[in-house]
Amino acid sequence: MEDAICKALASAPNVTLRQLAIATEDACSFSTDRRERTGYESALSVIRRLAKDRGVDLATGIHDPRRAADPALAFAHTDGPPRPRRQPPVR
């Protein structure tokens, strides 16, 4: 199962990885079925490991390749939350 999740998320951008982590965490919290919850917990651990390998902080969505466990993977996925656009001063 872990290999299937890794393969499915290999090309996913960091923003998507974070969204999936949040949704999976919520599903795990609300699940009342033990087997279902175990599946969500397994998926969440894989997502967290992928985020760590990429250098993505799932809490903030900030990508820092210097903190990545796998530098090659970190630079393959360099998206992150949009930065605020600077507005020119009004004159």
In a domain, 85, yes or no: no
In a domain, 90, yes or no: no
CA–CA dist 33, 55 (Å, integer): 32
CA–CA dist 37, 60 (Å, integer): 24
CA–CA dist 28, 64 (Å, integer): 27
Give residue 3's pLDDT.
Answer: 85
Residue 72 CB-density burial (10 A; 0-12 exposed, 13-18 middle, 19+ buried): exposed
pLDDT tens track, the chain, 91 positions: 788 888 888 888 999 999 999 999 999 999 999 999 999 999 999 999 999 999 999 999 888 989 999 988 888 877 755 555 566 666 6
Q: What is the count of structural domains for the chain?
A: 1
In a domain, 42, yes or no: yes
Give residue 46's pLDDT.
Answer: 94
In a domain, 81, yes or no: no
* Token pair belonging to 83: 């930065």
Give residue 90's pLDDT.
Answer: 66
Q: Which domain holds residue 16?
A: 2-76
Residue 17 CB-density burial (10 A; 0-12 exposed, 13-18 middle, 19+ buried): buried
